Amino acid sequence: MVEVAVVGGTGYVGGELLRILLQHSDVEVGLITSRRMAGEYVYRVHPNLRGYTNLRFEKPDLNRLSEFDIILSAAPHGAMLNQTAELVGMGVRVIDLSADYRLKRPELYEKYYGFTHPHPDLLEKSVYGLPELHRAEVKNAQLIACPGCTASAAILALAPLSKLIDSCTIVMDAMEGSSARGAEPSQASHHPERANVVRPYKPVGHRHTPEIEQELKAFSGKEFKVALSTFAVDVVRGILTASHVFVEADKATLWRTYRSTYGREPFVVLLRDYKARYKLPDPKIAVGTNRCYVGFEVDPDYGRVVVLSAIDNLIKGSAGNAVQCLNIMLGLDERKGLDVIGCHPI
């Protein structure tokens, strides 16, 4: 049994981390932190956890955190930036779900996050926590930087195709549920404004763009530009990406490439079933699971391949992916705590 700490436990991602970890047979949660809710019972913030834990939130303290071998940090971007570096320096292994250590080029933090990164040396040492691409590195990593939710879906959709095509610009649309905006409400995110919408909220310059470009290059050795536009849609959980690549492609070759890349992956499902009710990826069937559904269509009239992916943004896009990394670090079956069947209908 391994005892872990969860930092930043009050948000949606923190709640999902706890939901998964509290039912994990090889992990015990020994500490859950929150500055704002310190002293309060966890189940009063996450009502679905009532009866599963009597832990209370504690204020984050480096000395206390350093007692744990592994920490999963779901704190907001920047909130644990320096503390994470200190913990890694103490020999603690950290799985960071924020954006603080995802990008290898420090100048990109100035462009996309508005600050100068204080620990550029750690950016090179961190491992991008997408097991399907970095499984061997995750095993012995000291610092894992988990992907953004949109980036997770996009990279898994495009990585196999990137091996088959030359450097190019890829046009991508991503439709995202309201939980991707976090637990803190804003004028744009509360129900009267958020319901019944398909709202473009970041047509250009999305901060997950450099992650996608970085990882496609790492996987294929080629430079790609990803023109990403994101839309808020009237669902709570889920992301659907649709990527448009203008290339002449053979359907059989595409299937062979995707199958050879993901045929043994426990959480990537290739979907293109015209006899099924759900013929192509749809976030509805991914909700509550750590699965990424990937499919594609070939458009011979316009020399285009459309690649689709669907995930639950809080699970494969965040908490579930982090637990998958944790399982790899501990030498466990990657499916431990994550091998669940989604609900239908929802």
Q: Which residues are catalytic?
A: 149
- C-alpha span between 142 and 292 (Å, rounded): 26
* CB 154 within 8 Å of CB 214: no
Pairwise CA distance, residues 111 & 122, whole Å:
19
CA pair distance 158, 145, nearest whole angstrom: 20
- 313-342: string of b/e by CB count within 10 Å (b at 16+)? bbbbbbbbbbbbbbbbbbebebebbbeeee
Give the bridge partners for 94, in sequence order: 71, 143
Q: What is the DSSP string of 75-97?
A: PPTTTTHHHHHHHHHTT-EEEE-
Cα–Cα–Cα angle for 147, 292, 322, rounded to 5 degrees: 40
The answer to whether residues 234 and 195 touch, using CB atoms and an 8 Å cutoff, is yes
Q: Hey, is 268 helix, strand or coil?
A: strand
> By three-state DSSP, how is residue 218 classified?
helix
Q: Is 205 helix (H, G, I), strand (E, B) or coil?
A: coil
d(CA 142, CA 39): 30
